[in-house]
Amino acid sequence: MGKGKKNSTWAEAKKRCRLNQNDIQMAKELSMTPKSLLKNIPSPNQQWKSPVKVWVRDLYEKKFGKVLTSEKSNSIIDRAERKTHDILDEDFPDEELPF
């Protein structure tokens, strides 16, 4: 199997499993293959099964104790957490938080 074939299978897994580059890196560090990721996409009658993205992150955290994050993470949750943190710092610079 050539490099082009390997890259295209990872690209397909990334697209179909809705993964980002960090998720792909975590899957590779867990020695997963694109085929194993594609096989674990939950079907509509498998409501109990986590999405592949969540599954990979859970396994990575269980094995390594932390989740990979990039310095340039621009997810909505990260931005909201940073914004909340900045607002709280401005309102209560040296005091304890009210909650």
Helix (H) or strand (E) holding 82: helix 76-91
* Backbone φ, ψ for residue 75 (5° rounding): -70, 160
- Predicted confidence at residue 73, as pLDDT, reads 47
Q: DSSP of 50-71, one letter per residue?
A: PPHHHHHHHHHHHHHSS----T
The closest of 84, 13, 83 to 55, measured between CA atoms, is: 13
Q: What's the average pLDDT block by block, 10 residues per block, for the chain (99 residues)?
A: 71 94 94 95 92 94 82 51 53 54
The closest of 62, 58, 12 to 33, measured between CA atoms, is: 12
Decide: pTM greater than 0.75. Answer: no
- Predicted confidence at residue 62, as pLDDT, reads 92
- Predicted confidence at residue 66, as pLDDT, reads 80
Identify whether the C-beta of residue 52 lies closer than 8 Å to the C-beta of residue 36. no
- Predicted confidence at residue 31, as pLDDT, reads 95
